[in-house]
Structure 1
Amino acid sequence: MNRTMITATNTLSQLQKQMDIASDNLANLGTTGFKRKQSSFSELLVQQFNNQPSAGAEAGRLTPLGIRQGVGAQLAQSQIVMTQGSLKSTDRPLDFALTSEKQYFRVLEQSDNGSAVRFTRDGAFYLTPTGQNENMLVTSAGHPVLDANNNPITVSADASNYKLMDDGSLAVQLNNGATQEIDLGISLVKKPQFLEQMGGNLLGMPNNLAELNVTADEIYTDLNGPLRTQIAVSQGMLEQSNVDMSKEMTDIINLQRSYQFQSRSISMADQMMGLINGIR
C-alpha cells in the first residue's frame, strides 16, 4: 500500500480517539465535580533511508543524512486535569464541595460482580430510607456514601438538621435533642493518573497494580485521624465541572481540520495510484 495511505490511516484512528475525549469533556460540561481529560500526541517509529552506503561518502554535506519517513502519529497520553472547578452556592444542607484539588469522597458502587470502593468529587448527596427507621446517605445515582471506616452512612429517620464541620464530620441533630456525628470518608489521591474512569462520574483503582509497579498506598491515602485536619470541604455548595467550553470547541474544530487533511491525503494517494495503474 502507498506510504501516504499508511501514514494517514494510522493517524486517523488516533485522531478519532482524541475526538472521543474532547466530546466526552464537552458532554460533561454541566456534570458536578467532573474533571476533564487532556490528550497529547507523539510520533510513531520512523524509517531512515541513507543516500550512501557509508557516512564517509557524505563528507561535506550540509543537510541531514538520508531520508526519514514516518508512519503517522499516536495518542501518547490521556490524563485527568485536576484543576479546581468553580463553586456554586445551593444552600442545600446535603450539598458538599471539596475545595482541595486532590481530595475525593469515597462511595460504594454495587454491581452484579460485587461491590467496590470508588472516588468522586460530586458532593450532591441525598437520603434514602432503609426500612429500619433509618435513612442512608447516597449519591444522586444511589451509591452509598462511605464513612471513615468505609461503612455506608446511615442516620436516624427523625433527623432535623445537618451541619458539616471543618474536619469533614457531619453533625446530625435529632428531634429528641441528641446529636449524631459521622466522619465522611474522604481520601487524598496523590497519583490520580493511575485511577480509571468507571462511568457515572466515578473513579476506581486499576486491577493491574502489580504490572504498574505501584501500590494502593502510593496512589491514595484515607484522611482519617490526625490527617482529617487536611480536609477542605464546604456545605451548601457544589463544585462545577472544570471543562472550558470555548477550549473544547476550538480543539474539536482543529481535530476536524486534521481529520479532513488526513482523509484528503488518502484520496490523493488513491488518485495517484489510479493514474499509475492506468498507464499503458
Structure 2
Amino acid sequence: MSFYISLSGLKAAQTDLSTISNNVANVSSTGFKKSRTEFGDIFAAAPMQTTNQVAGQGVRVQGVSQQFTQGTLEGTAKTLDLAIAGEGYFTVKGEDGTISYTRNGAFSVDEDRFAVDTTGSRIQVFAVDPNTGVPTTPVNGATTANLIDLQIPTTLNNDPAGAQLTSVGVSKEGLVSAVYADGSTVRLGQVAMASFNSQEGLRQEGDAHWTATVASGAPTLGTANAGLFGSVNSGMLERSNVDITDELVALIAAQRNFQANSKAIEAANTLTTTVVNMRT
C-alpha cells in the first residue's frame, strides 16, 4: 500500500511543479493571473473500523485555481493601452462573434479603424451621445447584445473631406473621446466592463482571455469607476500578478516534496526486497 500512497504524492507534486512552472513562464505576460494547486488527503475506513488505527491512503489534486489579484500597473504612454485598477474585465468580441473577457488592455486600431486587442478581438463599448457622452441605451441590466464595436475614424464623422483626427483620450470612467483638427470633440463610446459572481468559475482561453461558464454565472455589465468596477487607466498596462520570488521558493518546496516521495518508494522497495529474500 505504501507504494501507492507515495505514488499519489509523486503525481500531486508533479502537478504542483507544472503549475508553478507555468506561473514562472508567464511572469512577463500582460494581464496573466497565476494559479495555485490545491490538495486534499485520501482517507477510507470500514463503517465498524476504528479510525484512529487507520492511516491515510495518500493525496489527490482537488483542483488548480486561479488567483485574481491585482497586478502591477506599468506606464506605456500609449493612449489605447488600458489598465483596470480594481475589479472588472474588458469585454471583447472575436472575429467569429465569440464574447470573451480580458484584463489585457493592449489595444490598437486595425485597418478599418476598430480598436482590437492582441488577438484581433474588438473591444465592446456602450453607444453614447457624441456631444454629451451619455449612454444612449440603459447600462443597468444591459447584455452583450446591447454593446457595439469601438471605431475611431481618422476624419470627423467619417467624412473624407472632414477635419483630421489629432488625438484620442480615455477617461477614468472609460469614456473614449476623439479630438479633430477643427477643435471639435466627439465621444465615441464608453468601455463596457464585466464582473462575475464567481471569477474562479471562468474558463481560461489563453492570451489572458476568459469566457463565462455556468460556474461563473452570467456577466454583470457596467461602466468603469462605478459600483463593482475599477477605474480605467489610459497609457498603462497591468502586468502579471506572479511574484517570481514566491514562485521560486514554491518551486524548491515542490521539488523537495517530489524527492521525499521518491525516497519513500525507494524505502518501501528495500523493505519489500528484504522480506522476499528472507527464505534465502
Report the TM range for the smaller structure's normalisation: 0.7 to 0.9
Question: Any unmatched runs of 5+ in structure 2?
Answer: 127-145, 156-164
Determine helix, strand or coil for the equivalent of 2:124. coil
Give the alignment's Cα RMSD to 1 decimal. 2.6
Aligned to 2:15: 17
How far did 1:177 drift? 4.5
Please say which of residues 90-99 and 171-180 is displaced more in the overlay.
171-180
Aligned to 1:59: none
The whole-number CA distance in structure 2 between the counterparts of 1:190 and 1:49 is 39
- Does the 8 A contact of 1:8 with 1:266 survive in 2? yes
Determine helix, strand or coil for the equivalent of 1:45. coil
Q: 2:94 matched to 1:109?
A: yes
Aligned to 2:207: 200
Aligned partner (choices 81, 85, 89) of residue 67 of structure 2: 81
Equivalent residue letter for 2:188: E
Please say which of residues 152-161 and 171-180 is displaced more in the overlay.
171-180
Question: Any unmatched runs of 5+ in structure 1?
Answer: 56-64
Aligned to 2:143: none
Structure 1 residues 233 and 67: alpha-carbon distance in aligned structure 2, compared to 1, 3 A threshold = same
How far did 1:109 drift? 3.2
Aligned to 1:128: 110
Please say which of residues 157-166 and 19-28 is displaced more in the overlay.
157-166
Aligned partner (choices 183, 196, 199) of residue 189 of structure 1: 196
Structure 1 residues 229 and 273: alpha-carbon distance in aligned structure 2, compared to 1, 3 A threshold = closer
Structure 1 residues 248 and 192: alpha-carbon distance in aligned structure 2, compared to 1, 3 A threshold = same
Structure 1 residues 228 and 182: alpha-carbon distance in aligned structure 2, compared to 1, 3 A threshold = farther
TM-score, length-scaled by structure 2:
0.80
Aligned to 2:256: 257
- How many residues are aligned here? 250
Structure 1 residues 66 and 93: alpha-carbon distance in aligned structure 2, compared to 1, 3 A threshold = closer
The whole-number CA distance in structure 1 between the counterparts of 2:210 and 2:102 is 6
- Does the 8 A contact of 1:105 with 1:187 survive in 2? yes
- Does the 8 A contact of 1:25 with 1:36 survive in 2? yes
The whole-number CA distance in structure 2 between the counterparts of 1:256 and 1:222 is 43
Alignment of 1:1-280 (within 5 A): 3-47=1-45, 66-100=52-86, 102-110=87-95, 114-130=96-112, 135-148=113-126, 149-158=146-155, 159-175=165-181, 177-178=183-184, 179-206=186-213, 209=214, 212=215, 215-216=217-218, 220-224=219-223, 230-280=229-279
Could you list the structure 1 runs, at least 4 aligned residues long, displaced by more than 4 angstroms after superposition: 175-178, 224-231
How far did 1:46 drift? 3.5
- Does the 8 A contact of 2:176 with 2:190 survive in 1? yes
The whole-number CA distance in structure 2 between the counterparts of 1:249 and 1:71 is 29
The whole-number CA distance in structure 1 between the counterparts of 2:82 and 2:225 is 21
- Does the 8 A contact of 1:120 with 1:201 survive in 2? yes
Structure 1 residues 263 and 115: alpha-carbon distance in aligned structure 2, compared to 1, 3 A threshold = farther
Aligned to 1:61: none
Equivalent residue letter for 1:18: D
- Does the 8 A contact of 1:48 with 1:68 survive in 2? no
Determine helix, strand or coil for the equivalent of 2:7. helix
More strand by share: 1
